[in-house]
Amino acid sequence: MAKPLSVKERLHDQAAALTPAERQLTGVLMRDYPVGGLQSITKIAEAAGVSTPTVIRLARKLGFDGFPELQSAMRAEASAQFKTPIGKRDIWDRPDDGPLAFKAFAEAVFDNLSRTIDRLEPSTFEAIAGLLSDRARGLFLSGGRITRSNADYFYNHLQIIRPDVTLLSTSPNVWPQYILDMNARSVLIVFDIRRYESDLERLAELSKERGAALVLFTDQWGSPISRVADHVVNAMIEVPSSWDSTLAINLVIEALIAEVQSRVSESAQGRIEALEEMFRATRIFRKS
């Protein structure tokens, strides 16, 4: 059974039908999502500069009976977001049979992939691919405790395809040395999923102050970095495990790698051939 749509997904689906006042209200609800929607209806209306009937109309447009039901949905999302890994594991039924457990996990992953594809706007994908294939721009990548591997994987491919790609150190203490080299021609690519990391948020803020473009890969709830990012990829991450899955993030990464390589194919081919020649000269790899 497909998971019910989140409030953010409902807002996304209804975006074209929203009035200017409802769009203002959406901005407030998305600020520190989903916690931003847990205030009273009066405070939310005041923060958005709209009337309380506007809040009620938006809730009904999203398919809820009224604001209390919308807020209840956001409260449930907030609760899911802040569950500890151990607590989160307990909500899943765990079949004793190994193959059945694998099947349940695989089905959850397939659902994540499908929903991530559905949520990713073609214009967002195109814009990110355009930034990454612009060889006049320097690329910087960083990830969190879990998503560091995603940043490293993306870096390894981009660095082969094009020049001027940098993977930030795992130590935030030396990040200012990277930020010093950022400017309006730079692109910072950040990976941050729930249990969002304050160090990454500060990195994003400082890079924006230097004029860099910011691309964020995050989960369905959205890292706080979303508020300063130029482009955001929201990937679905929940699986029947104590840990979240980043397979949907890697799906988008690999699609971007293919697209960027196709856009810079001539220079990328030259770099790949030169790299292979270096491997042969240094005998790093055995001959097949």
The CATH number that applies at residue 244 is: 3.40.50.10490
> Does residue 170 fall inside a structural domain?
yes
> Does residue 288 fall inside a structural domain?
no
Same domain as 251, residue 190: yes
pLDDT at residue 215 in the model = 98
Helix (H) or strand (E) holding 143: strand 138-143
Same domain as 163, residue 71: no
Same domain as 75, residue 124: no
> End-to-end alpha-carbon separation of the chain, Å?
47
From 81, 110, 139, the end of a domain falls on 81
> Does residue 156 fall inside a structural domain?
yes
Same domain as 267, residue 141: yes
* CA-only gyration radius of the chain, Å: 21
* Ordered DSSP codes for 62-116: TT-SSHHHHHHHHHHHHHHHT--HHHHHTTS---SSHHHHHHHHHHHHHHHHHHH
> Does residue 233 fall inside a structural domain?
yes
Task: Give me the CATH number covering residue 32.
Answer: 1.10.10.10
Burial (CB count within 10 angstroms: exposed 0-12, middle 13-18, buried 19+), residue 192: buried
Q: Which domain holds residue 45?
A: 7-81
The Cα–Cα gap between 168 and 122 comes to 28
Same domain as 158, residue 234: yes
Same domain as 74, residue 160: no
Query: What's the number of domains the chain is made of?
Result: 2
> Does residue 171 fall inside a structural domain?
yes
Same domain as 236, residue 129: yes
Same domain as 160, residue 235: yes
Judge whether 34 and 74 are in contact, CB under 8 Å. Answer: yes
| Bridge partners (DSSP) listed for residue 232 | 216
> Does residue 109 fall inside a structural domain?
no
Helix (H) or strand (E) holding 214: strand 213-218
> Does residue 58 fall inside a structural domain?
yes
pTM: 0.70
Same domain as 136, residue 20: no
At a CB cut-off of 8 Å and minimum separation 6, what does 181 contact? Answer: 138
Strands 213-218 and 186-191: parallel
Same domain as 255, residue 176: yes
For residues 196-216, b (16+ Cβ closer than 10 Å) or e, as one string? bbeebbebbebbbeeebbbbb
From 81, 108, 137, the end of a domain falls on 81
Give pLDDT tens digits along the chain (288 positions): 567 888 888 988 888 899 999 998 988 888 767 777 778 888 888 988 999 999 999 999 999 999 899 988 888 887 776 655 555 555 555 555 557 778 888 889 999 999 999 889 989 999 999 999 999 999 999 999 999 999 999 999 999 889 999 999 999 999 999 999 999 999 999 999 998 999 999 999 999 999 999 999 999 999 999 999 999 999 999 998 888 999 999 999 999 999 998 888 766 667 777 767 776 777 665 554
> Does residue 99 fall inside a structural domain?
no
Same domain as 261, residue 157: yes
From 30, 59, 81, the end of a domain falls on 81
Same domain as 208, residue 148: yes
